[in-house]
Amino acid sequence: MLWQKPVFEMLELLKRKEVKPSEVVQAFYERFSQTEEKVRAYITPTYEQALQQAKELEGKNPEDYPLYGIPIAIKDNINVEGYPTTCASKILEGYISPYDATVIERLKKAGALIVGKTNMDEFAMGSSTEYSAFFPTKNPW
């Protein structure tokens, strides 16, 4: 199962073209679909967009991208252009980021694929998500 592999193994499979970036994103999406109702880790999933970006990446040379096709989830206090950034607060509900944070620019340039914005305690004031304005995240494992 691709979603269980460490990043370095996934990257080797991708660079050797044994799997495609779209297959990796699809594997993570299937796992997300099976568990998200119970776990509730994401405020804003972006798998459809990540799949589209993965397909575009497939026509490029993997050696040009240090994170070629690697899916990554971003905490909801980091701006990703065109997506909500709520910091898990009702105050920012509806805010759409007009730009990418520097870390996002660098991740995208490296070939990483953003699969969603994850839950957190409101304005990062805690570490358990029990103080998210939307819902707590539960880790059954």
pLDDT tens-digit series, residues 79-135: 999 999 999 999 999 999 999 999 999 999 999 999 999 999 999 999 889 999 999
In angstroms, what is the C-alpha Rg of the chain? 15
How high is the pLDDT of residue 36? 97
Please write the tens of the pLDDT for every residue from 21-56: 999 999 999 999 999 999 999 999 999 999 999 999
- Which band of pLDDT confidence, cut at 50, 70 and 90, is reported for residue 139? confident
How high is the pLDDT of residue 109? 98
Amino acid identity for residue 65 in this structure: Y
What is the rounded average pLDDT of the residues 65-69?
98
How high is the pLDDT of residue 26? 98
Q: Which two tokens stand for residue 98?
A: 């007009």
Inform me whether the pLDDT recorded for 141 exceeds 80: no
Q: Which two tokens stand for residue 110?
A: 């490296």
How high is the pLDDT of residue 38? 95
DSSP codes of every residue in 24-59 = HHHHHHHHHHHHHHHH--EEEE-HHHHHHHHHHHTT
What is the rounded average pLDDT of the residues 10-30?
97
Q: How far apart are alpha carbons 28 and 25 in whole angstroms? A: 5
The model carries a pTM of: 0.93
Strand ranges across the sheet with 71-75: 42-45, 113-118, 71-75
- Any idea where the domains of the chain sit in the sequence? 2-124
- Which band of pLDDT confidence, cut at 50, 70 and 90, is reported for residue 140? confident
- C-alpha distances in Å from residue 26, one per residue of 1, 94, 125: 11, 28, 33
Q: How far apart are alpha carbons 70 and 14 in whole angstroms? A: 9
C-alpha torsion 71→30→62→15, nearest 10: 110
